[in-house]
Structure 1
Amino acid sequence: MTRLHLVRHGPTHAKVMVGWSDLPADLSDTAAVARLSAHLPGEALVISSDLIRAVDTATAVETGRARLPHDEALREIHFGDWELRAFDEIEAEDPDRIRAYWDQPGDVRPPNGESWNEVCARVDASIDRLIAAHTGRDLIVVAHFGVILTQVQRALRLDAEAAFAHRIDNLSVTEIAHSAAGWTVGRINHRP
């Protein structure tokens, strides 16, 4: 069995849509970071997306664990022309598309961005590669809201709307395992 400990990076405090923009994480809550690190298995391998907020969070919880190279396929949703813009601003310009993107996720995409189905395909392929390369290990995957939701959706066999109903807080861990029998889900959005 391969266990995934999906950790959402520290907060950016941005009040806009942040996908592929490389904003730093606020890791000043050292007590929360220490609790998270202590909660994670000591022999696990650590990997993160290549965006600095995930890289720095992975470094903060690494504490002697082996580190794998960053994986750009673990990046957040690519919001394209919506990147770093407020929801209200986008809604004023393109209300039907932004509502459909969040209310009926699937094939709808932001201009020059990616659809939810494309995000799922990208992240699923990355997670499959990790599982194949490290079968039977514990993996700490430090990533983003959307990345974690793709795996919740996959493991629980949910539709996208049901997956989006889950909350994924900064510095939380979601536990999912894969074995020959399939997927099992432990805690979602656990804050140690």
Structure 2
Amino acid sequence: MTEIHLVRHGPTHAKTMVGWSDLPADLSDTAALARLSDHLPQDGLVISSDLQRCVATADAIQGNRLRLPHDPHLREINFGDWELRSFKEIEAEDPERIRAYWETPGDVRPPNGESWNEVAQRVDAAMDRLIDTHRGGKLIVVVHFGVILTQIQRAERLTTEEVFGHRIDNLSLTSLTRHDTGWSTQTINHIL
């Protein structure tokens, strides 16, 4: 049994589609960070995406826990040409594709970006490597909205449309357990 505690990074306050852009997180809510750190298992291993909003959030909650190297495979969705653009801007240029991307996700991809299925494959492979390497351990994984959704989808056996209905707030905690025979979910989007 491996515990997986998925923490969404601190807010960027961007009002655009932020995937692989390396924006900083606002970590001014030190009380929320302290509550989150106190709640997480003290013997957990901390890992994050290599983007600074996750790295800095992981630094803020790490405490005395051991840290694993940042993993670029845990990055957010690559929005390609849509990166740092608003839904409204993109909709004006490519209304059918952006609506299909969010309403019927799967193989639809932004120009020069990733489809949902590609994101899920990338993240699932990275998480499987972590689980295999640290089987029976406790992993604190500081990542992005899309990354957390991929793992909820997997654990809950949801369709992409169903998992997109989940809200994942900044500095929220989603806790899953990987058993030898499958997955179980403890909390989704828990705010401390």
Name the residue aligned to 1:160: 160
Distance 1:151 1:30 in 2: 27
Task: Please list the CA deviations of residues 61-118 of structure 1 after superposition, one character each: whole Å capped at 9, or x if unmatched.
Answer: 0001000000000000000000000110000000000000000110000000000000
Name the residue aligned to 2:102: 102
> What is the CA distance between 1:160 and its match in structure 2?
0.2
> What is the CA distance between 1:179 and its match in structure 2?
1.1
Name the residue aligned to 2:138: 138
Distance 1:121 1:181 in 2: 20
Give SS of 1:186's match. strand
Q: Residue 116 in 1 paired to residue 116 in 2?
A: yes
User: Structure 2 matches for 1:19-98, cutoff 5 A?
Assistant: 19-98=19-98
Distance 2:189 2:105 in 1: 21
Distance 1:40 1:60 in 2: 13
Name the residue aligned to 1:14: 14
Return the letter of the residue paired with 1:51: L
Give SS of 1:189's match. strand
Distance 1:174 1:104 in 2: 24
> What is the CA distance between 1:131 and its match in structure 2?
0.3
Q: Give the TM-score of the pair, scaled to structure 1.
A: 1.00
Give SS of 1:24's match. coil
Name the residue aligned to 1:171: 171
> What is the CA distance between 1:50 and its match in structure 2?
0.1
Return the letter of the residue paired with 1:140: I
Task: Please list the CA deviations of residues 41-69 of structure 1 after superposition, one character each: whole Å capped at 9, or x if unmatched.
Answer: 00000000000000000000000100000
Return the letter of the residue paired with 1:118: E
Give SS of 2:78's match. coil
Distance 2:39 2:167 in 1: 20
Distance 2:181 2:125 in 1: 19
Give SS of 2:189's match. coil
Matched pairs, number: 192
> What is the CA distance between 1:184 and its match in structure 2?
0.4
Distance 1:176 1:159 in 2: 18
Give SS of 1:73's match. helix
Give SS of 1:16's match. coil
Q: Which runs of 5+ in 2 are unaligned?
A: none
> What is the CA distance between 1:181 and its match in structure 2?
1.8
Return the letter of the residue paired with 1:157: R
What's the C-alpha RMSD, in Å, of the aligned pairs? 0.3
